[in-house]
Amino acid sequence: MNQLKFYLPKIFLSFLLVFLLIFSEIALVVQNKALSEKTFSLVIEQQALDEKAYSALDIYFQSRSNSTGIPKKVYLEAIQQEELKTAILSSVEQAFAFLNGETETYSFSMDFTKLENSVNAFFNQYAEENNYQKDEAFYQKIQENLDEAEEKILYTADTFKFSTLNEHGWLEKLRSYLSIFRTGVIIICVMTIFIMGILLFLCRTTPKEIPYWLGLTGVISGLLTASPCVYVLRTNYFSSFVVKDPQIFAAVVGYLQYITGQLCTVTLITLIFGIIFLILFGILHAKTNS
């Protein structure tokens, strides 16, 4: 009767613990992985975003040369792949500096001095070789070409689209919610430990049940979180992402798959621990009965 008196509270606390474990896992993965500058740097490396961005620019300027007559090398020789990588890393760095409150605004820019020199040199050489008049329209054409090229390069280098997020005010919103979120993570983790503590306290008269309740909550929370993660990863769900710019596609899909993979790993570890606890309980239970 004494045991039965604690049965319903144990069920209720286990139920709470299952969801608190799920929230804790998700919150910790989001805080330590999804909102980590290191993760973005890792995705840049893993997905070779600089290579993809450079290739995208190569295709763009080649295609553009078919209508403008300006060879792609005028642009591409002034922008090296290494510079693109630095720019992509810089966009991430700037975004996190803004999110962490180190800067008041998000700004992303690149040094286009070499590009300006290259385009100017090509136009002037063309004008001299073809007796092209260097009038106001000539200099306006140079400026238009530079503006279009710089806009395209910045768009291509901003693989994670922080500029777009900033323009729409999402980066600002994220920044304001970040401190609340970080406090929330601590509260969830403390609550998880607290509920676990109460559950253990209720099991003080039947200590052999401790691994049972811990195992049960671990297994159920693991199953509930791991199942959708495995489904998403196995079906390549993120690969149906609609934006087809290669560098943006690789950045977004690579990032989402990495985060889902990390969450999946954490939940599978919880699941394994849960199974171990249940096996332990089974052994203890068998010994007590015999």
Partner 1 sequence: MTEQSKKNSALFYVLTGVFLLILCIAVSVGVLVIPYEKAKTYLNIVFMDQEMKITPSSGLDGLVIKENTIETAAPDQKFYDSGKIIRPAFGEQYAVLDCEEISLSVPVYWGSSAELLDRGACQASSSVVLGETGNVVIDAHVNTFFADLPKLKAGDVITLSTNYGIFTYQVSEQIQFLNTNKQYVLPSEEDKLTLYTCEAQVLGTSDNRIGVVCSLVSKQFYQPSEEGTT
59 binds partner 1 (CB under 8 A): yes
124 binds partner 1 (CB under 8 A): no
Closest distance of CB 63 from partner 1, Å: 4
| Nearer to partner 1 among residue 91 and residue 247 (C-beta) | 247
216-255: contacts with partner 1 (CB under 8 A): 216, 219-220, 223-224, 235-242, 244-246, 249
| Nearer to partner 1 among residue 29 and residue 57 (C-beta) | 57
Task: By CB under 8 A, name the one of 30, 86, 141, 261 that touches partner 1.
Answer: 141
Number of Cβ within 10 Å of residue 211's Cβ equals: 22
164 binds partner 1 (CB under 8 A): no
Task: By CB under 8 A, name the one of 11, 121, 186, 272 that touches partner 1.
Answer: 11
109 binds partner 1 (CB under 8 A): no
| Nearer to partner 1 among residue 97 and residue 174 (C-beta) | 174
67 binds partner 1 (CB under 8 A): yes
Task: By CB under 8 A, name the one of 9, 45, 46, 68 that touches partner 1.
Answer: 68
8 binds partner 1 (CB under 8 A): no
How far is it, in rounded angstroms, from Cα 42 to Cα 257?
A: 12
Closest distance of CB 103 from partner 1, Å: 29
18 binds partner 1 (CB under 8 A): yes
Task: By CB under 8 A, name the one of 31, 41, 65, 206 that touches partner 1.
Answer: 65
Task: Output the CA–CA distances (angstroms, integers) from residue 42 to 33, 57, 282, in the order listed.
Answer: 11, 22, 42
Residue 211 amino acid letter? P
Residues lying near partner 1 in the complex (CB under 8 A) are found at: 11, 14-15, 18-19, 59-60, 62-70, 123, 126, 130, 132, 141, 144-145, 212, 216, 219-220, 223-224, 235-242, 244-246, 249, 281, 285, 289
